[in-house]
Amino acid sequence: MPGKYQNNISEFLKIDNETVVGLKSRASEILNKKRKLTLEMIRSLHDTLKIPTAVLIQSY
């Protein structure tokens, strides 16, 4: 993910991770690229942070 969105995603997952990913440990796995975002997570991040879905679906 491009850097300008990484900080927003990190902040959002830390503050409200239960809404997006369910568990604090899962948020950590996503941020450390050990787990991929699900479609539901992508939709939630897009709706909440207005991050383009094209950015969220990129492979890493």
pLDDT digits (tens, 9 = 90+) for 14-45: 655 455 666 677 777 887 889 898 998 899 88
Residue located via tokens 């990484």: 6
* pTM (whole model) above 0.95: no
Distance CA 40, CA 20 (A): 8
pLDDT at 54 over 90: yes
Domain spans, the chain:
3-56
Orientation of helix 24-31 relative to helix 3-20, angle to 10°: 160
Buried b (16+ CB within 10 A) or exposed e, 12-50: bbeeebeebbeeeebbeebbeeeeebeeebbebbbeeee
